[in-house]
């Protein structure tokens, strides 16, 4: 009998670990001055869910400053069984198409993902504080050595 090539395998523990970020969150952020925007405080509302048979965390965020939406993101997180790294496919309202996903892994309670493009390198550092909060630091570097903060935030689960 022919094997069903469309039959889904089960998510691994590595996929399930991403569920720590699933839910609805409110964030207090600091945006650092950059070539993209002026610095200052911001808030974000984040909605994330595990989907597609548990293989992906799909995250949408809306950032507000001075009562106006100024930035939005759509992230797709997964674990790549082939190269054994986590992947982040990141899209935002700046409109750049990433040439490839960010890649990385966990060290303790911290998930670090790095991606490069012709504009430079971005590093996303997610740290689980507890079951109801996490922090995020997004950094930029032209050479992947000297990192400058672009955004820092702490996000609290909405119950």
| Predicted confidence (pLDDT) per residue in 48-66, tens digit | 999 999 999 999 999 999 9
Question: Which one is predicted more confidently, 143 or 69?
Answer: 69
Delineate the domains of the chain, giving CATH numbers in brackets.
Answer: 16-157 (2.40.128.20)
- The arithmetic mean of pLDDT across residues 72-98, rounded, is 93
In sequence order, what DSSP letters do the residues of the chain get, joined into one string?
----TT---PPPHHHHHGGGG-EEEEEEEEEPP-SS---EEEEEEEEEEEETTTTEEEEEEEEEETTEEEEEEEEEEEEETTTTEEEEEEEETT-PPPSS-EEEEEETTEEEEEEEETTEEEEEEEEEEETTEEEEEEEEESSSSS-EEEEEEEEEE--
């Amino acid at each position: 009998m022919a094997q069903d090539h469309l039959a889904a395998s089960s998510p691994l523990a590595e996929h399930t670990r991403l569920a720590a970020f699933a839910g609805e969150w409110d964030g207090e952020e600091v945006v650092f001055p950059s070539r993209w925007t002026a610095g200052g405080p911001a808030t974000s509302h984040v909605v994330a869910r595990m989907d597609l048979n548990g293989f992906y965390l799909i995250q949408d965020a809306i950032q507000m400053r001075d009562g106006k939406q100024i930035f939005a993101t759509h992230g797709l997180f997964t674990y790549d069984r082939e190269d054994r790294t986590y992947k982040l496919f990141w899209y935002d309202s700046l409109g750049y198409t990433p040439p490839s996903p960010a890649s990385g892994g966990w060290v303790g309670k911290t998930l670090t993902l790095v991606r490069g493009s012709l504009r430079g390198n971005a590093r996303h550092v997610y740290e689980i504080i507890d079951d109801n909060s996490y922090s995020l630091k997004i950094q930029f570097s032209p050479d992947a050595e000297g990192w400058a903060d672009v955004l820092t935030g702490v996000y609290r689960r909405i119950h």
